[in-house]
Amino acid sequence: MLAAPLAPARTAVTRTAYWTRLAPLLAALACVTRIPSFVQPLWNPDEGFLAVQARLLAQGGRLYETVVDRKPPLLPWLYQSAFALFGSGSLTPLRVLAVLAQLLTAALLASLARRRWGDRAGRTAGVLYLLISVGLNPEDAQAATFEVFMLPGTAAALWCADRARWGVAGAAVAAAFLTKQTGGAVLLPVAWLLHRQGGGLRAGLPRLAAGFALPVLGVALATDPAGFLFWTVTGSAAYASVTGSELHVLARALTNAAILAAASAGLLPPVVRALRGARTTVPELWLWLASSAAAVMLGCHFFGHYYLQLTPPLALLATAALHVLPGERHTAAVLTSACSCALFVGWGLLAPRPELAHTERVAAALTQRTAPADRVLVWGIHPETYWLAGRTPATRYLTAGLLTNYSGGRDGPQVGEKYAVAGAWPVFRREMTAHAPALVVDDSRGEPYAPDRLPTLRRLLTAGYEEVGRVDGAVLYARVPGW
């Protein structure tokens, strides 16, 4: 009579023992794979953009009004909160949060795999994910930017959908979307799982829709609804075009795909085997991979960090395939992935950063030639210069890309004033009149967005500024007294 109640207790003990062993392993692996992220003050311009945004928000800036970007607000708010707690002079707190985000993603994938295929599969999924999660150029994989913080939301959405928790699944999709728009692609496999439930569709669909819509609506109302819609959805038509830069973009796409394929050398053989065979039927995981691939291709820019969105479904698909293969295949997949991971971690630790060194020298010149209260304009694609120099931008447009469409990495065509974000140049002119920068840094260095190709900026420099120096090819212009 007393034996029956012991079964749930025994199950709970087994579950606790399993995670007691696995969680430290995943935590250690997450820390080791992201050691390179702590050795540089910055990894890419996205981190710099977020750091400058956070400082401007802390000074009373308003998102999508006086502080703008083509991204949702969750990560700028996270940066702002971290700076409020720990100061804005270092990104170390964000690096720690990135490690925790990777650990959470790995744990959710391990839980998904364990529920479906058993204890070993859970360990395999968590470990494989962390091993391939740094398998890109370190500037893409080690930075504390959008994809890293988006992935826990995508994994949580599948985790909740797998347990028919539709309201929370919708909220997880919303969290991913509000970190980066392409995170919403996980809605496709979630919807498939809801459809597969059959009888629960009528009750589950409203909960899923409400779980997604309410957070998105709340965030839109907390910022500026029209600005939120424009900057996150409707205002990037020119940015999404690659006309005239097709070969440039294609080369980037193939290069980053090849890098990720090298990092995933241990995973791809079982995934291909599963694709050709019929023993592993996981349509929702294939849908997750397909929707993630579509998200990578959306906008046709193929930056390396976009490919991080592929890593969770790849890890789960490999686990599903390995589950039906002999045990030595598990060992081979993990060892191959570990060797690839070691190479990428070494790359992150040893690779030179010439662009960071250039930006630091320009920032030092800015600091030397201006006072802390001065506003400055850095005409380039390195917004981190403002953060490193501790100076306030003279405009809400933190890169030349927003005013010329160069931010898509184009190699010439469709770059210029007429390709800017709609309405940007009139706003820019007003800002230059309202608080003219004490110093202008032309950091274009021969790129297609140079001032001599932009009539408005050329007139501004000719009328009120004079050259006062050069730093690594960047030209410094000081405001003429009395202008």
Q: Alpha-carbon distance 150 to 408, whole Å?
A: 21
- DSSP character for 233? I
Q: Is the pLDDT of residue 134 over 80?
A: yes
Q: What is the pLDDT of residue 10?
A: 55
Model confidence at 243: pLDDT above 80: no
pLDDT tens for each residue of 186-226: 999 999 999 988 756 788 999 999 999 999 999 999 999 99
CA–CA separation, 309 and 269 (whole Å)? 20
**Contact (Cβ atoms closer than 8 angstroms) between residue 428 and residue 403:** yes
Quote helix, strand, coil % in the chain, to nearest 5.
65, 5, 25
pLDDT attached to residue 468: 96
Is pLDDT at 466 greater than 80 in this prediction?
Answer: yes
- 22 three-class SS: helix
Res. 39 pLDDT band, cuts 50 70 90: very high
Q: Are 285 and 320 in contact (CB under 8 A)?
A: yes
pLDDT band at 273 (very low <50, low <70, confident <90, very high): confident
* Main-chain phi, psi angles of 244, to 5 degrees: 90, -10
φ, ψ at 442 (rounded to 5°): -90, 100
The model's confidence at residue 236, banded by pLDDT at 50, 70 and 90, is confident
Given a contact cutoff of 8 angstroms between Cβ atoms, the answer to whether 165 and 333 are in contact is no
pLDDT tens track for 409-463: 566 678 899 989 999 999 999 999 998 999 999 999 989 999 999 999 999 999 9
Q: Taking residues 111-124, what's their average pLDDT?
A: 95
Please report, for residues 167, 169, 198, the alpha-carbon distance to residue 207 in angstroms, rounded to integers and kept in the order given.
5, 9, 15
Show the tokens assigned to 168: 């929370």
Residue 78: Cβ within 10 Å count: 19
Looking at the predicted structure, is the pLDDT value of residue 387 above 50? Answer: yes
Name the helix (H) or strand (E) containing 337. Answer: helix 327-350
pLDDT tens string 46-91: 999 999 999 999 999 999 999 999 999 999 999 999 999 999 999 9
Position 138 confidence tier, pLDDT thresholds 50, 70, 90: very high
